[in-house]
Amino acid sequence: MPRVLVAYGFPRWKKPVVRQCVAPRRVIFVAAGEAVPEGSWVVVWGMNPEPAGAGRVLRLEDGFLRSVGLGADIVRPLSWVMDGEGLYYDATRPSELETLLATKRFSADECIRAAALRQRIVDLGLTKYN
């Protein structure tokens, strides 16, 4: 990943979170509808359209455990997902998560840890929006 990313079309309140999410990379924010440097790596929100001239596109979206409250209410997220293939909820194309789960051989320790984490989430009654 390059040292500089272009974040395209993000509202002001998301900018600090975008910076935190891609640190230590530098971020150049470009308003929707404006031109981006040709071939640049561009971060867009969710399934928003990518700008003309973008090189690699990374999609940023709420993670599985987001927050107490909604982003529409300008509540800061607990987790975001960044994916260069697709997004976990888009069944029309694979995502990096889907590819990882389909191809990686997980160790016994990783499987035990994942099962314990899943059980903890269930026991606490956590959902995407708590």
**pLDDT of res. 1:** 87
Share of the chain above pLDDT 90, in %: 76
Q: Show the tokens assigned to 91.
A: 């069944």
C-beta neighbour count of 124 within 10 angstroms: 9
Q: Where are the domains of the chain?
A: 4-103
Q: Please state, for a pLDDT cut of 70, what percent of the chain lies above it.
A: 92
Strand partners for 44 = 8, 59
Evaluate if residue 113 carries a pLDDT over 80.
yes
pLDDT band, very low/low/confident/very high, at 128 (cuts 50, 70, 90) = confident
pTM confidence score: 0.85
Q: Quick: pLDDT tens for 21-71.
A: 999 999 999 999 999 999 999 999 999 999 999 999 999 998 888 766 666
- Going by pLDDT thresholds of 50, 70 and 90, the confidence category of residue 79 is confident
Q: CA torsion, points 99, 62, 65, 26, in degrees to nearest 10?
A: 90
Strands (DSSP E) along 31-111, which ranges? 42-45, 57-62, 80-83
pLDDT for 80 equals 87
